[in-house]
Structure 1
Amino acid sequence: MEQFPLYQQIANALRAKIKSGELQSGDQLPTEAEISKTYNVSRITSKRALTELENEKLIYRIQGKGSFVSTSPPPRQAFGGSGKDVLLILPFAHNPGLGDYEKGINEYLAATDYTLNIQSNTIVGQRKLLQSALQSSHSGLIFYPVNSVSDLGILYQYHLSDYPFVTMDKCIQGIPFLSVVADNFDGGYQAARHLIENNHKRIAFLSSQKIEDSSSLRERYFGYLKALFEAGLTDPGMHDLTEQGLAHDNPASQEYFLRLLESVMEQGITGIVAENDLMAIEIIQAAKERGLSVPDHFSIVGFDDIQLAGLIEPKLTTISQDFERMGYLAAKSLIGLIEQQPRVQAKENVVVPVRLIKRQTVKKL
């Protein structure tokens, strides 16, 4: 809670009571003096908290009598101010082949009077962007998180504040935000199943982060495990490569990939399901440096179908996500939340189908 000013913490707490119905229309709120005593703050701080709620039209104040919950709640677009723009927060400054989220969002917004504002956390950082956005005049937020477990305290403030909020690619652990995600479970299943159908018996799942920290990665891993289970195969248990600094221009990373490939060959692994295309491409490049051939020495399947996947040699077999569709549905869901449109607003997480793209990195044994 330290990242928020005291007046904002108090406003959030009172806002949550109004949202939950603990404080109902016409109910009187605690006085400035009572708030000061309860939260051990100055009268100036308690007054500012009440002013915050009054500006949002959640409460009204009568001189000499106190503050009361408004009879009817304001429309949600008034939460952050009078603006008619939505914010998209991404974990990358430019699009590194990870899909046309922006195109899909703008396609939906074109039929509305909302506009899109994009910020990336590569310079400012995710935490500071989230702090700033909560105090901004944006009507709502589409959020692509770095993982499912970071900055939970700030994100929970969005939930308490009833802020129109949709996540893409991942769900946030323990907070019931509406999410638009690819069918990661089916993707992991299809990737492993494709290797199994090509007679591979020793198949590894490789990831650069902890499976527990990412909902999308966890679903891919579970899908992989299901395919192995159905085929009577076991997981070699090589999935976690966390904190290795995996980048091909990093000498330490290159050495790590070479050691990884040695372990793959020693364990008789013939098939790899990679966390994503970028990791799969790194492994293919490391294999070339070691004099190994893909798919002759081992086969590999990526995930994402970024542009580079179809340009490298050999061309990468992968699972394709419909990024544009995900962006479109995220925008549709967010506007539904902002304007409280039951016909538009999704009632549960939106799952977008994926498909297997067969290219050249899987060999039949």
Structure 2
Amino acid sequence: MEQIPLYQHIVNALTARIESGELQAGDQLPTEAEISKEYNVSRITSKRALTELENAKLIHRVQGKGSFVNAAKAPHRPVSRTSKEILLILPFSHNPGLGDYEKGINEYLATTDYTLNIQSNTIVSQRKLLESALQSTNSGLIFYPVSSISDLGILYQYHLANYPLVTMDKCIEGIPFLSVVSDNFDGGYQASKHLIENNHKKIAFISSLKVENSSSIRERYFGYLKALYDHSLIDYSVSDLTDRYLTHDNDNGREYYIQFIQSVMAQGITGIVAENDLIAIEIIQIAKELGLSVPDDFSVVGFDNIHLAGFVEPKLTTISQDFGRMGYQAAQSLITLIESPKDQPLEHVVVPVQLIERQTVKKL
């Protein structure tokens, strides 16, 4: 899964404040210096965030005075949805590890008269895609959000308009959309339990995003904590390390991982549960460059079971998500929501996960 750059976190936070009405038309935004201090980022990063907001026409900047909120333009939902087309919005344009989402969606849609249109926010921002979709004639939307707290203002407009929308991978904070997610809690629990069953006592969790920003990561983290608690392995020194590294604190991801690995070795940690496979693989590669070996120096469990997980050396032990089934369930839920909205139960669909044992966990 793609990681969100630091400037985008700031863009998302300020956009949410604008769309919620906390910051209104004409209000002045914090300065570059104030943003740098509040979010603990460089001036370059804060300047980039303000530039993105200006490009999105949410703010305007006055030389020597600062940045100000523009007058809002509320999107309007068309009265009728005339097409038989379903829109899928993804945070990536091509990801071989996650491609079965589309396969599962199309498998279900083949039993209906609906077709699928796919858009990604790698070029056009998620917010712009959402604004456009809300005013389109699409019958409904399957939405893979970049986080659980991004673009809440425009998403709440979908809720108010009763627009048929189902989220995949994450739930949206505070808005009761139907969602289709993996059993992330059980996945975090299984990954940790596997390390524990191999006699690991000090186990850390690492994420590229703050757990509060993503419901899926949060559930994996809670599953990890529950496994440690059930086996009386809560270690506050490890918890402190995990808390420090639940998100990048600078723009240099490589340096972030080097510091994490050094802390792991210094504290005698022998097992790591990674938020996803890409992070796990990067940890393994950097460990090699530092003269360390996985699993001899420490063990790693990933999450996702992307295609690459079975080809890296050593092959990655991971938690497998059934992306095809998630796509199928999302399409099924959305079509029911479109055609029989009164019969649609407001319940999340949770798809089981599976531990895939390979070569990155050593029995101690």
On the 8 A contact 2:211/2:246 being kept in 1, the answer is no
Alignment gaps of 5+ in structure 1? 5-48, 57-77, 247-251
Matched, 1:316 2:316: yes
On the 8 A contact 1:99/1:306 being kept in 2, the answer is no
- 1:354 matched to which residue of 2? 353
On the 8 A contact 1:317/1:362 being kept in 2, the answer is yes
3-state DSSP class of the match of 2:304? Answer: coil
CA gap of 1:171–1:319, structure 2 versus 1, over 3 A, is: same
- 2:35 matched to which residue of 1? none
- 1:229 matched to which residue of 2? 229
- 1:198-347 equivalence runs, <5 A: 198-235=198-235, 236-237=238-239, 238-239=241-242, 240-243=245-248, 252-340=252-340, 345-347=344-346
For 2:328 and 2:356, the matched residues in 1 are separated by 22
The amino acid of 2:256's aligned partner reads Y
For 1:244 and 1:169, the matched residues in 2 are separated by 25
Post-superposition offset of 1:208? 0.6
- 1:8 matched to which residue of 2? none
For 2:249 and 2:286, the matched residues in 1 are separated by 15
The superposition leaves residues 6-57 of structure 1 with CA deviations (integer Å, 9 ceiling, x where unpaired) of xxxxxxxxxxxxxxxxxxxxxxxxxxxxxxxxxxxxxxxxxxx9xx78x72x
3-state DSSP class of the match of 1:303? Answer: strand
Post-superposition offset of 1:253? 2.8
- 1:83 matched to which residue of 2? 83
Identity within the alignment, %? 72
- 2:139 matched to which residue of 1? 139
The amino acid of 2:266's aligned partner reads E
On the 8 A contact 1:336/1:342 being kept in 2, the answer is no
On the 8 A contact 1:170/1:215 being kept in 2, the answer is yes
Post-superposition offset of 1:99? 4.0
- 1:147-226 equivalence runs, <5 A: 147-226=147-226
RMSD, aligned CA: 2.0
For 1:201 and 1:90, the matched residues in 2 are separated by 38
Matched, 1:127 2:124: no
For 2:256 and 2:348, the matched residues in 1 are separated by 37
The amino acid of 1:334's aligned partner reads L
Number of equivalenced pairs: 289
On the 8 A contact 2:294/2:360 being kept in 1, the answer is yes
Matched, 1:103 2:103: yes
TM-score with structure 2 setting the length: 0.76
Post-superposition offset of 1:259? 2.0
On the 8 A contact 2:180/2:348 being kept in 1, the answer is yes
3-state DSSP class of the match of 1:337? Answer: helix
Post-superposition offset of 1:112? 0.6
Post-superposition offset of 1:234? 1.3
The superposition leaves residues 227-262 of structure 1 with CA deviations (integer Å, 9 ceiling, x where unpaired) of 00011011512333423578xxxxx43333222211
3-state DSSP class of the match of 1:180? Answer: strand
For 1:141 and 1:184, the matched residues in 2 are separated by 23
- 1:70 matched to which residue of 2? none
On the 8 A contact 1:317/1:357 being kept in 2, the answer is yes
The amino acid of 2:247's aligned partner reads T
- 2:12 matched to which residue of 1? none
Alignment gaps of 5+ in structure 2? 1-15, 21-73
Moved more, 139-148 or 255-264: 255-264
3-state DSSP class of the match of 1:302? Answer: strand
Post-superposition offset of 1:346? 4.5
The amino acid of 1:271's aligned partner reads G
3-state DSSP class of the match of 1:129? Answer: helix
On the 8 A contact 2:250/2:256 being kept in 1, the answer is no
The superposition leaves residues 253-308 of structure 1 with CA deviations (integer Å, 9 ceiling, x where unpaired) of 33332222111000110000000000000000000000100000000000000000
For 1:342 and 1:110, the matched residues in 2 are separated by 24
On the 8 A contact 2:273/2:300 being kept in 1, the answer is yes
The amino acid of 2:83's aligned partner reads G
For 1:125 and 1:254, the matched residues in 2 are separated by 26
For 1:255 and 1:124, the matched residues in 2 are separated by 29
The superposition leaves residues 203-233 of structure 1 with CA deviations (integer Å, 9 ceiling, x where unpaired) of 0000011001110000001111110001101
On the 8 A contact 1:333/1:346 being kept in 2, the answer is no
For 1:336 and 1:176, the matched residues in 2 are separated by 16
On the 8 A contact 1:336/1:346 being kept in 2, the answer is no
On the 8 A contact 1:93/1:120 being kept in 2, the answer is yes
Moved over 3 A (4+): 1-4, 243-246
